[in-house]
Amino acid sequence: MKYKHVVITHPGGPDVLKMVEDELREPKAGEVRVKILATGVAFTDVMMREGVYPGVPELPYSPGYNIVGTIDKLGQEVSDFTLGQRVVALTIVGGYSEFLCIPAHDLVPVPESADSILAVSVVLHYLTAYQMLHRVARVEAEERILIHGAGGGVGTALLELGKLAGLEMYGTEAQAKHALVSQLGGIPIDYQSEDFGDRIRQLTTGGIDVVFDAIGGLNLWRSYRLLCQGGRLVNYGFLSAFKGSSNKMVAIGATLVQVGLLNLIPDTRKASFYSIASYKTKHPDWYREDLTILLNLLAGGQIKPVIADCLPLAEAIHAHELLDQGAVSGTLILICNQ
């Protein structure tokens, strides 16, 4: 049986993505073959496409960090799932595909009342947001947080989950996304026309408790300066490395070094770097526990992810063009099977 999937042929722009057809393999012992309904498109996929994401297979391979689908076939030694059952998984790679064999321990069941498209958007963006809020920063009610890129996939998730946690929220974003930030409970700051540090100082007294920074680079120091004593800076991305940097790997490395250097400052503030892939490896119990909590919040209507658009798998190039242009609010989805 043949199946289609989108692969990265070589590092570069969106046009390096190519749809190919291969023979569908059988699941190994301990694996489940999933018929993928949808996969999310995220900045992590762009990093893979550009050749700067660590720990990926040799080219060509399929990107795709998260999937929702139905179980198509069970490998030997798998007894916790049934054929046709809906599941989600943080796959890291492989999601841009009609089918994928996945270790059974990576799968989390989707509640019956949860929408599949909304469920897949929970896996990467909301799990990232939830773990940064509650596992890394350990936020408490009424604390103040600043979210850079508050209208993006992780940003909107932070706003929704932050509201549930009773936080006071501020978010930097382009003017076009200010209504969305406000709608989700945040106070928008236009980073393009005003200095976000000056604006935060006008709006608050005493500083910010937590800053979530996906920008990296020099933005980290500007974010750190806004923290109150005991404040926490959580870096989880490298957008600055993709804005005119001649050497992205050097720029990414410099961001990670800077996080370490900030912790040498003799005060009570703290900086840390969050990687969802590393957390999944180190704390697989947290991965399943936190994702189950989020899926139950979704099923109960307590969160409703913002969906930018749903495109067919064949339009993966266009999806990446939208990401490169910064034209995505919330989560962008590729439909792999109807």
pLDDT number for residue 298 = 98
CA atoms within 13 A on the CB side of 216: 24
Q: Are strands 99-103 and 227-235 parallel, antiparallel or unpaired?
A: unpaired
Cα-based angle 255, 42, 94 (whole degrees, multiple of 5): 110
pLDDT number for residue 190 = 94
pLDDT number for residue 157 = 97
34 Cβ neighbours under 8 A, 6+ residues apart: 67, 69, 70, 71, 72, 87, 89, 99, 100, 101, 102, 107
Instruction: Tell me which fold the domain 2-122+283-335 belongs to.
Output: Quinone Oxidoreductase; Chain A, domain 1 (3.90.180)
pLDDT number for residue 327 = 81
Is 105 exposed, middle or buried (CB count within 10 Å of its CB: 0-12, 13-18, 19+)?
Answer: middle
132 Cβ neighbours under 8 A, 6+ residues apart: 158, 212, 234, 236, 274
| Domain range annotation of the chain | 2-122+283-335, 125-277
Nearest to 322 by CA among 336, 310, 305: 310
Q: Do domains 2-122+283-335 and 125-277 have the same CATH topology?
A: no
Q: Which CATH architecture has domain 125-277?
A: 3-Layer(aba) Sandwich (3.40)
pLDDT number for residue 145 = 98
pTM of the model: 0.95
pLDDT number for residue 247 = 83
How many CB atoms within 10 Å of residue 35? 18
pLDDT number for residue 147 = 98
pLDDT number for residue 288 = 97
Average pLDDT of adjacent 10-residue blocks, the chain of 338 residues: 96 97 96 98 95 93 98 95 97 98 98 96 97 98 97 96 98 95 97 92 94 94 96 92 78 89 94 96 97 98 96 98 89 94
pLDDT number for residue 47 = 94
pLDDT number for residue 245 = 62
